[in-house]
């Protein structure tokens, strides 16, 4: 069964000086409209206890263009400005639904410079993309678009390193992968990025550590430059390029790893890690951020949905490392420096491999029973017996009674 999904294909492009100036002006107008509409909505909400709709904001935009102060808004395409108002409407919808915090103003220096164009504001003909009021873009087609694809939305952006990107949103057909009986449990780590329940360890590339000397040098050069000078801007871009190099290599590695795991296994089981809380550890924060567990989980989630695989996330409090997979006992304490430990049943466990196998068994049990995995609250004898039974049943593929 073929699945229809919307996919974004991102490419680099090299604008002419005229195109770069026009796009930069568009980015500034988009940011201005967003901030001004947010200001009006905030004033109406806190001053009059009234919500402003997207239609009212659009009508206000028309009036802004007629003023002498904001007449320059007519010099750019109106579509990115309208899209900015729609994005603000989505942000407020998420806020009132308690899915996000109150929308914030866009900063000229810190916010992402981007503009979104819909079908009425670009032309796609003969493999060439032309935006409104601009010539055809010189795009580097690193991979082809799906055959017969018609872009519905085009987003142009510029990162902090000065690189220009165009993201093309198209509808694509995804064929689910062939079914398999394989299942794998994943234990995330720092020395080993992932430990599989099969015993395989995926070495952590440590992209940030490999480029740390180069990054530190560029940052020292940046702080030696006078604020506001042209040399400081050049140094800032060098620092941004160093960060972009690290991020690009990390993203490429995670995409390849997640694709491999999804293709080889029908079921993938991971832990629900609270990375935000783990980053509060001053000694491990840098290494945890470099591992990018959150991005890996997001990639696994999307690809499992596309290719007909099952992703199971077990509870963060499940004692995967301290649980003996053979006997079911749970150790009271297991410091991070202990990489191997012996159970009272005589089994000697590798900490990470044992955790990955317990994660797999718990995930299969949760999938069979339709329930999550929570820490046991019974007495030690009852807990040992119940955990042992659950692990044995999950390994044998027998659901709980």
The pLDDT of residue 326: 76
The pLDDT of residue 334: 80
**pLDDT at 229 exceeding the cut of 70:** yes
Instruction: Note whether 9 and 155 are same-domain residues.
Output: yes
> How many percent of the chain have pLDDT more than 70?
92
The pLDDT of residue 292: 93
Last residue in a domain, options 122, 146, 174? 174
Asked if residue 314 lies in contact with residue 181, where contact means CB atoms within 8 angstroms, the answer is: no
Query: In what helix (H) or strand (E) does residue 268 lie, and over which residues does it extend?
Result: strand 267-271
Last residue in a domain, options 174, 208, 231? 174
Instruction: Note whether 151 and 192 are same-domain residues.
Output: no
271 catalytically annotated? yes
Q: Which of 201, 218, 352, 390 is catalytic?
A: 352
Q: Which of 22, 116, 218, 271 is catalytic?
A: 271
Residues ≥6 apart with Cβ < 8 Å to 136:
128, 129, 130
Which residue, among 299, 308, 296, has the nearest Cα to 266 in the 3D structure? 308
Which residue, among 27, 131, 147, has the nearest Cα to 139 in the 3D structure? 131
**pLDDT at 396 exceeding the cut of 90:** no
**pLDDT at 376 exceeding the cut of 50:** no
Structural domain harbouring 350 = 315-396
The pLDDT of residue 389: 52
Mean pLDDT of the chain: 88
pTM (two decimals):
0.83
352 catalytically annotated? yes
Instruction: Note whether 371 and 385 are same-domain residues.
Output: yes
Last residue in a domain, options 132, 147, 174? 174
Asked if residue 291 lies in contact with residue 352, where contact means CB atoms within 8 angstroms, the answer is: no
Instruction: Note whether 163 and 18 are same-domain residues.
Output: yes
Instruction: Note whether 248 and 266 are same-domain residues.
Output: yes
Return d(Cα 24, Cα 20) in angstroms, integer. Answer: 6
Total domain count, the chain: 3
The string of DSSP codes covering 157-191 is: EE-TTS-EEEEEEEEEEEPPPPP---EEEEEE-SS
Return d(Cα 290, Cα 206) in angstroms, integer. Answer: 6
**Is 401 domain-assigned?**
no
The pLDDT of residue 370: 62
The pLDDT of residue 337: 81
Instruction: Note whether 161 and 25 are same-domain residues.
Output: yes
Mean pLDDT confidence for 203-223: 94
**pLDDT at 198 exceeding the cut of 80:** yes
Q: Band the pLDDT of 382: cuts 50, 70, 90.
A: very low
187 catalytically annotated? yes
Q: Which of 116, 187, 201, 208 is catalytic?
A: 187
Instruction: Note whether 164 and 298 are same-domain residues.
Output: no
> How many percent of the chain have pLDDT more than 90?
63
| Burial class of 311 by CB neighbour count within 10 A (0 to 12, 13 to 18, 19+) | middle
Instruction: Note whether 170 and 35 are same-domain residues.
Output: yes
The pLDDT of residue 4: 85
- Digit-coded pLDDT (tens) for 134-167: 889 999 999 999 888 899 999 999 999 999 999 9
Q: Contacts for 98-105 with beta carbons within 8 Å, 24 or more apart?
A: 103/38, 105/34, 105/35, 105/38, 105/39
Instruction: Note whether 270 and 380 are same-domain residues.
Output: no
**pLDDT at 20 exceeding the cut of 90:** yes
Return d(Cα 164, Cα 243) in angstroms, integer. Answer: 16
**pLDDT at 183 exceeding the cut of 90:** yes
The pLDDT of residue 371: 56
Mean pLDDT confidence for 274-294: 91
Instruction: Note whether 121 and 199 are same-domain residues.
Output: no
Instruction: Note whether 73 and 169 are same-domain residues.
Output: yes
């Amino acid at each position: 069964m073929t699945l229809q999904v919307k996919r974004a294909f991102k490419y680099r492009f090299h604008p002419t000086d005229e195109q770069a100036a026009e796009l930069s002006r568009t980015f500034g107008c988009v940011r201005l409209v967003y901030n001004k509409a947010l200001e009006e909505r905030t004033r109406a909400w806190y001053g009059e206890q009234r919500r402003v709709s997207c239609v009212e904001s659009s009508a206000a935009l028309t009036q802004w263009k007629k003023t002498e102060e904001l007449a320059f808004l007519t010099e750019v395409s109106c579509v990115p400005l309208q899209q900015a108002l729609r994005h603000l409407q989505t942000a407020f919808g998420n806020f009132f639904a308690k899915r996000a915090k109150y929308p914030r103003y866009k900063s000229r220096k810190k916010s992402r410079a981007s503009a979104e164009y819909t079908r009425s504001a670009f032309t796609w003909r003969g493999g060439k993309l032309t935006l409104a009021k601009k010539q055809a873009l010189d795009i580097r087609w690193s991979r082809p678009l799906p055959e017969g694809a018609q872009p519905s939305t085009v987003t142009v952006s510029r990162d902090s390193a000065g690189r220009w990107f165009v993201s093309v949103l198209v509808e694509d057909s995804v064929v689910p992968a062939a079914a398999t009986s394989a299942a794998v449990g994943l234990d995330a780590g720092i020395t080993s990025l992932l430990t599989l329940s099969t015993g395989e360890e995926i070495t952590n590339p440590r992209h940030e550590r490999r480029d740390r000397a180069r990054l530190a040098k560029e940052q020292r050069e940046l702080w030696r430059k006078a604020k506001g000078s042209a040399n400081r801007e050049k140094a800032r871009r060098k620092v941004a390029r160093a960060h972009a190099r690290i991020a690009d290599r990390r993203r490429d590695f995670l995409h390849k790893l997640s694709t491999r795991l999804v293709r080889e296994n029908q079921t993938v089981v991971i832990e629900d890690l609270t990375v935000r809380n783990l980053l509060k550890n001053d000694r491990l924060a840098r290494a945890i951020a470099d591992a990018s567990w959150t991005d890996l989980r997001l990639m696994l989630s999307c690809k499992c949905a596309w290719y007909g695989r099952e992703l199971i996330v077990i509870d963060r409090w499940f004692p995967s490392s301290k649980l003996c997979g053979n006997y079911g006992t749970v150790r009271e304490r297991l410091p991070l420096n202990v990489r191997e430990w012996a159970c009272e049943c005589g089994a000697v466990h590798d900490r990470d491999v044992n955790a990955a196998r317990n994660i797999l068994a718990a995930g299969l049990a949760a999938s069979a029973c339709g329930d999550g995995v929570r820490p046991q609250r019974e007495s030690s004898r009852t807990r040992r017996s119940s955990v042992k039974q659950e692990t044995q049943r999950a390994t044998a593929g027998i659901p709980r009674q």
